[in-house]
Structure formats: structure tokens, C-alpha cells
Structure 1
Amino acid sequence: MTIAARLKHHLEAQGLPFDMIAHPYAATASGCAEAAHVPGDHLAKSVLIHMEEGPILAVVPSNHHVDLTQLQAMLKRRLGLAAESEIQILFDDCNLGAAPPVGAAYDVPTIIDNSLSGLDKVWFEAGDHKTLVEMQGRDFDQLMQGAKHGSFCTLH
């Protein structure tokens, strides 16, 4: 089990308790939820969005998609999915496709879907495709308090 260095440093600096959960390799967030036997609507996945001003990290449940039209209307900006190369540069201590949803650890502004607030437990990628971070929902809410919030996702 591994956790990305910057994520670990950020979590420890926040003083919030968390556990790490090992699971069989899974390439996608929804596959990860299945492999780890956690509810897909409680696993937070990150989607890097490209804006003219710079990137923003959109965080939604693993069994949902970012509704770019809705997010664009909320942010009043033209948006698109970021290129893999941009993701690799920003999250250079993570495997591609396993970026954690904690943008603050990477100096990336973050917006989180309201459906991930107020849950009992939340899981998210630790930076590889075999490890999840598990947190109490209230601790995750505190971790994400600096993020913008809104409703901008649709079910797969």
C-alpha cells in the first residue's frame, strides 16, 4: 500500500484521522469501488478540468460523470477535460488515473459535488490503483471545506 507523498503530508498537516485500504488493481474509479467493496456513491473521484485561467479539480462520486454543461454554467467559464499530460504534471507523485480528490494538497482549486457532503464514510484514491484512503464523512467534509460546492454530476 502506498500513499502519494504530498497527499500524506497534507492529511497529516490537517490532523485528520484516516485509514488506508488495500484492494486488487482497478483501472477506473468505479472498478476501484467494486474491487474494494465500497459503495460507488461514497468513493470520491477526481476529474481534472481545463479552464483558460488554469486547471480545477472536480470531485464527484465514482459512479457519476461530471456534467460539463452544468459545471460550465455554474463557473461561468468555458471548460474542457484536461489532457493526460496536464494531469501527470500536476499529480507527479501519483499514477495516471489515480489522482486523489484533495486539490489543496497539489495547489489546485477544487469543486466538489454536494452529493459527497454529509456522508458517514468516504473513500478516495491514495495515488495508485491499489490503495484507498478511508475517512469518516465529517473529517472528509472538514478536509474539503476550502473547496467550492455545487451540483454538477450525473449518474453513469
Structure 2
Amino acid sequence: MYIQRLNNYLKHAQVNYQVLTHSPAYKASEIAEMTHISGMDFAKTLILNIDGIRAMLVLPATYRWDQPSFTKMMEANSVELVPESELENLFPNCELGAMPPFGNLYGLAVYLARELSLREQILFNAGNHHEVWQMDYVDYHDLVSPRIITEGYVRKNPPRPVHVHHGGFSH
């Protein structure tokens, strides 16, 4: 089981983590809301095919992958999401869409949004849709050695500018 593999990996590295359980949820933003976690702390995992090489992209729940800018940043000819049918083979003991951000356990390069690297904690699905694991970001970084990126993703709902009307109000 993937959770057991990850648990053993963290124990061997002497890394502490906490497990939060919740009702089944499938979207990163729903999980963050349900568990009262900031969407900036909750990491979602995407598996990409970059010119024929699989890699893992880890983003905060409040962001989405931007294919054109990611492709440009990677100087790649083609970047696509790996089909769900292949995810089942890559992560056979994980529920679909609940892959933890430990691509290094499967020989995958890991690209991590800079915003996650600035957080004290990182929270993520650990192979299923009813548990979130929480650990110190520093420990995660030491174990995974992700490549920190600043391009290739955008905020889902960027804050709107506030327009203040400086009109003449009469009393």
C-alpha cells in the first residue's frame, strides 16, 4: 500500500507528520475547506508528460497549471497531463487523483510552486481521498529536493483590484 510505503519512508528519515481525517473529497479546494486548511498550504499533485518524460507538478490548491507558460518555461515541445489510465499504473496503490507529492519515490522529477516553498507546513493527500498528511515544509524539501518554479501556473481566482471612486459627495 502506498500509504505504508510513504509512512515507512518518513519513519526511516525520522520525519514527523500528522494525519487529518475527513469525509471523502476529491478536489483540492474542497479538501482544504473541509479540513480548515489554507488553500496555500494544501498541495495538489499533477503528473505531466514533458516531451515524453513523466514528471510531477505540485501546486497550492488555490492555483492551476498553465500549460502554455509551463511548456515555455521548460523549453519543451510538448507538455500534457498524463491520462488517468496511466496514473493507475504509476500509482497502483493510490486512489485516482490522491497521489502524494513524493515523485522521488517513483523516479519522477518534482516541480514545486514557489508559493508552497514559502510555507512552514505542507499538507497533501496521502494516497486516498479521506486523509491529509501534514509535515514541516523543510522536511519535505530535504526528502524530495523539488525544483522550485515561479512560472507555469496561475492563481485560480486572482483578487480583483479595488476601485475607489473619488467623486464629489454632497452633504
Q: TM-score, normalised by structure 2?
A: 0.83
Structure 1, residues 10-50: CA drift from partner, whole Å, max 9, x if none? Answer: 22233221111111111111111111110001001101111
**Which amino acid counterpart does residue 120 of structure 2 have in structure 1?**
D
Query: Residue 31 of structure 1: SS of its match in structure 2?
Result: helix
Residues 1:13 and 1:107: Cα distance change in structure 2 (over 3 Å): farther
Structure 1 residues 8-27: aligned runs within 5 Å: 8-27=7-26
CA contact (8 A) 1:26 1:32 kept: yes
5+ unaligned residues in a row in structure 1: which ranges?
none
Shift of 1:119: 0.9
Structure 1 residues 6-45: aligned runs within 5 Å: 6-45=5-44
Partners of 1:36 and 1:61 in 2: how far apart?
15
**Which amino acid counterpart does residue 48 of structure 1 have in structure 2?**
I
User: Which one has the largest radius of gyration?
Assistant: 2
Equivalent residue for 1:51? 50
**Which amino acid counterpart does residue 127 of structure 2 have in structure 1?**
G
CA contact (8 A) 2:124 2:133 kept: yes
Residues 1:106 and 1:5: Cα distance change in structure 2 (over 3 Å): farther
Higher RCO structure, 1 or 2 (CA under 8 Å, sep 6+): 1
Equivalent residue for 1:134? 134
CA contact (8 A) 1:118 1:141 kept: no
**Which amino acid counterpart does residue 103 of structure 1 have in structure 2?**
G
Structure 1, residues 49-103: CA drift from partner, whole Å, max 9, x if none? Answer: 1123321100000111011112111211110111001111111110001111110
Partners of 1:12 and 1:105 in 2: how far apart?
14
CA contact (8 A) 2:117 2:148 kept: no
Partners of 2:2 and 2:22 in 1: how far apart?
13
Instruction: Give me the identity figure in percent.
Output: 26
Shift of 1:122: 1.4
CA contact (8 A) 2:42 2:60 kept: yes
**Which amino acid counterpart does residue 112 of structure 1 have in structure 2?**
L
How many aligned positions are there? 154
Structure 1, residues 110-140: CA drift from partner, whole Å, max 9, x if none? Answer: 1111111131221011110000110122222
Equivalent residue for 2:101? 101
**Deviation larger for 101-110 or 3-12:** 3-12
